Structures are given as C-alpha cells and as structure tokens.
Chain A
Amino acid sequence: MARPPTDADVAGLLDASRGPLHPVAARTLEASLSVAWADPTRLHQPARRARALLDTAREVLAEALGVRPDELSIHDSPERALELGIAGLRHARRRAGERVVAGATERSVVLLQPGTEPPVPVDHTGRVQVQAYAGALTAGGVAAAVLQSANGEVGTRQPVDEVDDLCRASGVPLLLDLTASLGRDGGTALRSPTAGAVLVADAASFGGPPIGLLAVRTGARWSLPGPRRAAEHGREHAPPWVPLVLAAAEAWRQTSAARELEEPAARALVDEVRRAAAAVPDVEVVGDPEARLPHVVTFSVLYADGEVLLEELAARDLVVASGSACTSSVLRPSHVLAAMGVLTHGNVRVTLPLEAVSPTRAEDVGRLCRELPDAVAAVRQRLGTEHL
C-alpha cells in the first residue's frame, strides 16, 4: 500500500488533484504503520509514542498554515474540515444571522452548506465580484463568509486581501479555503498570512494523503453545538489515524523545501499547455492567465464531447480530468465552469503532479501539447463536427 509510486504508475499523469503521495511521504507512511498505529489518546506505551509523533507532526502542519499547534485540528477529509469550519462559525454567530456569504465558484461541499444561497456571482475568469461580495456581507443576517484562495478547477486566484478587509470591516468572520493551493502557490508562506478567522487545507495539495486541516485562530468566535467532543480540541469525536498525519507532515517538509524550483517549473509547463490549447481552432482556455495557481489549467473544446476527448487522450497514455457533464456521475456540468459562463462541454482539466511525484511530467506535458491538435481533430471527426 505504501509502495512509492514507480514511473510506470505516474507516466502520463496530468490529473494530480488527488495524486499519488510524495514518494518520501509514502515511505514515512510505511514506516509509521509499525510505530504510530495506536490511538494517541490512550495511556499505554504505544499510545504515548503515537502521541509524541502526532504532536511533532501537528507542529509541522501548523507551521505550514502559519498558525499555532493548539489552533489546528486534523480531520478525516478536507470536505469534513470545511463542513466543521463553517458549522462552528454559524453556531457561534447564530444570533447575528444564518446566512453564509460564498462565491459561485467555491467548492460544492461549501455551496451545499445551509445559508449559502444565493452565491455571489463571479466574472468570466471565476474571480468573485468584490462589489457584490461587499453587498452580500452588509445585507444583514450574515453569520460567516467563505472564500477560496484560488480555484482548484480553473486555477484563478481570489481577491483574498480585499475580501478579508471587507469581512473585518463588517465584523463577519471569514473562512479561507486553501484546499487547492497550500504548498503549491506561495510555498511555505501563505500569500495572505493573516487573512481569515478560520483556515482549511488539504494535505493532498502538497503531496500528502487527503486529510483535512482546520485552523481556528485564537480569538475567533467558533463553537459547535452539543457537548464538547473528545478529540482534536473538542472539534472531533476521535483522533486522526497518526500514520496519515505523519505522512502529511513529511509531504509538507519535502514540498516546502523544493518550492523555489517547483513553482516556476509548474508555471512554465502550464503556460505551454495554455499556448498549445489556444492554438487549436475553437478551443477556449479558461481561468485567469496570470493570477492563477501555477499547476492548474482548464480548456474547453467546442463541438467535442468531454468523455470522448478523455478517452482519446487516455488512448495516447495521457491522464487528464474533465468538468463536462458527461464525465460527472450526476450528469451535470462543473458548477465552476457554468458560473463563469464558459463552455462546459469538451472540457479538459490538467492538475500537474509535483515533479517529485512524477519525474516525467515535463515530457508528459510536451506530449500533451503535441498530441492535442490531433486528438481534438480525431474526436471532432468521430462526431462529424470537423467542418463546423
């Protein structure tokens, strides 16, 4: 299970939204299985050892978020951390109101929380409209606000500092969602180190397992209904499984140490994809071309079927994702693309793995750029749309 990925496993991998573990984190996980398996809340020797290892890992992960270890709790998934983060703000502020201000390109799990309707509109790049956000904050009855640092589907960065200022001015606590960006956009330093009353991150974004990190800054009004829970500063019913947390901390150490080479390299590769895709007739590259995550790019191919395009690229050993309806289990297009008003069919999404995870990624990107015109032509020919 913890076998480090080999080149064969990751060859052609251009969808690392939940990629393989960083190979060093995979080795850490394997080693942890025999030393850190115990429940860290028990009192026996194996539990004490797990506890000590967990404490150290929590310090590392807290530093990743720029918070104190006693502000950080660890959860089974980033989605769970987002749900809890919002629930705690809503409960603590239930006398102020029930509404949660959130942009239309926030993650689905955020937009499914009570109080988030209607979402704040975004522009064609997916960036939230600041004027509309300000209006929603001051409309009354607002318990909390949510903003992603950057969108994981199209890469566009959000106006974090501006929205943070607006939230402070109107006395509304902000949850900053770093699940797509931590470790990939700004390295060890957060782009806005003091923004947000609550921070949520996903260890998978920096090469760790997909566990949720939830930081509630000291002084923020945050509480959950019901009796205090037993673990994770009263936020969780049970402690996390320690081997996963150790792997996450190791992934952070590795990824933050490599950031100075990693981010510019990823940015240059994504620029290559953007150029190659834009050169194909009737292809629209979406998301902000500059103010974006270094490692994410999405484009939509007119008169093509997302599922067929994915299969065509898979036949050429290129693994990508799609936000098109036909590729979704609910047969609805990506709410992000729809909110941006861009084409949702024929959509291809590239999330670059870390170079440490996929040493062949530059070659894979080069191959995608070379194969794309032919792959698009083949799909359009099959659909009889090549002359439209």
Chain B
Amino acid sequence: MRGPAGVPVVDARGTRCPVPVIRLARAVRGLPPGATVVLLADDVAAWSDVPAWARMKGHAVSLHEEDEGWTVYEVVLGARGPAPQDARST
C-alpha cells in the first residue's frame, strides 16, 4: 500500500502488540536513511511501542490520532542507525 508521493503505508489496524511494530520493522528494511513510512494502528500498546522502537533504532516518529479511533504514525528513518545500547542509562 502506498500513500501520497509514494510513501509506503503499513495498515496494522485490527492487530495487537507486537504485530504493528513487527510489520513496521519489515516495511523499513532496506530503505535508505531519510525515507518515510506511515503506520496506521489502533492498538493502544502501539502508542508507547512505536516511539520506543524508533528510539531504539534511531528513527524519528510523529503521531496524530484520528477521530475514528486509530492513530497515524509517520516514521522518518534515521541516518545514524540504531542508538548504541549504552547510550541511555536504563
């Protein structure tokens, strides 16, 4: 599925954790830094898991909620690759 300007769109509505993040990770495989992927998901766990995944992998994510009860996640792939494991104190 592709959105405007050929941006790949992953529709994970109706699936629950960890499926939305897994589909998103499959979709970004092989894409260059700076590429954009859009995820649609209605799983509440995705609110925390998509940004957490993006942080672990060095991507940027912005999200906005749709009125119909699902959320659009726009992921811009990072140039620096995944954050090193010890970059955070947790």
- What residues make up the interface of A, taking CB atoms closer than 8 Å to B? 124-125, 278, 282, 284-289, 300, 302-306, 324-326, 331-333, 337-338, 341-346, 383, 385, 388
Contacts and interface: CB of A to CB of B under 8 A. Distances in A.
Nearest to A156: B90
Given A125-B89, A388-B22, A341 B44 contact: no
Contact of B44 (A302, A305, A332, A383): A332
A325 B19 CA distance: 12
B83 to A, nearest CB: 10
Contact of B90 (A285, A302, A305, A383): A285
Given A302-B56, A345-B45, A385-B25, 6 more contacts: A124-B89, A303-B25, A326-B17, A333-B17, A342-B90, A383-B22
Contacts of B35: none
Nearest to A343: B52
B22 A385 contact: yes
Nearest to A284: B56
A333 B48 contact: yes
Contact of A286 (B18, B47, B51, B90): B90
A337 B47 CA distance: 11
B29 A388 contact: yes
Q: Which 8 A-B residue pairings sit nearest by Cβ, starting from the closest? A: A345-B18, A343-B52, A338-B48, A345-B17, A325-B45, A333-B45, A388-B25, A286-B90
B48 A337 contact: yes
A274 to B, nearest CB: 10
B17 A303 contact: no
B90 A125 contact: yes
B90 A284 contact: yes
B80 interface: no
B42 to A, nearest CB: 12
B47 A124 contact: no
Contacts of A342: 48, 52, 90
Given A332-B44, A338-B48, A278 B85 contact: yes
B49 interface: yes
Interface string B60-88: 00000000000000000000000001001
Nearest to B88: A124
A344 B45 contact: yes
Nearest to A300: B52
B2 interface: no
A69 B63 CA distance: 53
B9 to A, nearest CB: 19
A210 B63 CA distance: 41
Contacts of A289: 89-90
Contacts of B90: 124-125, 284-289, 342
Interface in B7-57: 16-18, 21-22, 25-26, 29, 43-45, 47-49, 51-53, 55-56
A309 to B, nearest CB: 10
Contacts of A304: 18
A126 to B, nearest CB: 9
Contacts of B47: 338
B48 A305 contact: no
Nearest to B20: A345
Contacts of A388: 22, 25-26, 29
A333 B44 contact: yes
Given A124-B90, A388-B22, A325 B17 contact: yes
Nearest to A342: B52
Nearest to B24: A388
A29 B28 CA distance: 58
A186 to B, nearest CB: 22
B17 A302 contact: no
A234 B55 CA distance: 51
A341 B51 contact: yes
18 contacts: A284-B56, A284-B90, A302-B21, A302-B53, A303-B18, A303-B22, A325-B43, A333-B17, A333-B44, A333-B49, A341-B55, A342-B90, A343-B48, A344-B49, A344-B52, A345-B45, A345-B49, A346-B18
A300 to B, nearest CB: 8
